[in-house]
Structure 1
């Protein structure tokens, strides 16, 4: 996997994705290799390596990202009855680009 799958593959257009919601600064799409039956990823289009590297100047972008996550999560909850919103840090973060998973259902495979 590239260091930053989201910039190198998704945002560049090399990997095609099915969009769930998009704004000028945010993209939410169905995961290319889902781990749950419903597995959506939300990312900023600007490269930010992780939640803990956000700068003060990223506050508006973070609010926009959380707004998209809120809308997508509400729709998943309405359709599926429940969902989780997850972000990873450190070793758990495979791609070094801030991203959130909006998921529902039992895992499709073991980690």
Structure 2
């Protein structure tokens, strides 16, 4: 599997990025195709194609940095009213760059961005069945 992505070039300084935050483990920068103004990406510096490949401590750090960035977005010129944190894991989830990345998306009323799915109301028995299956998988993993 080729570990190369544009994010690897950004981490290495070979590709431009409007950097917002950086430490030894993660980098945050402006998304070049933002859903809303101020849309940020937070990535681990060590590439992981999926959540399954990502060290859990590093995954936690992505969200810790995302939380700090959300507060900064509210206090900055972006002045958003809310923030979505979004991470797509896999093609079916909408992942396009195969280097784990957390989207930090500032939100304002009427910005046009949002989830467009159709929620369902399954019977409790179906929810219990899937909960048991997931719990069993956790216990074997």
TM class by shorter-chain length?
A: 0.7 to 0.9
Q: Which has the higher contact order (CA 8 A, sep 6+)?
A: 1
CA contact (8 A) 1:19 1:27 kept: yes
1:5 aligns with 2:6: yes
CA distance in 1, matches of 2:10, 2:31: 10
Give unmatched runs, 5+ long, in structure 2. Answer: 114-141
Please name the residue that 2:134 is paired with. none
With over 3 angstroms needed to count, the CA separation of the structure-2 counterparts of 1:90 and 1:83, relative to structure 1, is same
Please name the residue that 2:100 is paired with. 98
CA-based RMSD of the aligned residues comes to: 2.0
Q: Tell me how far 1:35 sits from its aligned partner.
A: 2.5
Q: Tell me how far 1:107 sits from its aligned partner.
A: 5.0
CA contact (8 A) 1:37 1:104 kept: yes
Please name the residue that 2:80 is paired with. 80
CA contact (8 A) 1:31 1:39 kept: yes
CA distance in 2, matches of 1:11, 1:22: 10
Q: Tell me how far 1:29 sits from its aligned partner.
A: 0.8
Larger radius of gyration: 2
CA distance in 2, matches of 1:33, 1:83: 17
Q: How many residues align?
A: 102
For the residue of structure 2 that corresponds to 1:96, the secondary structure is coil
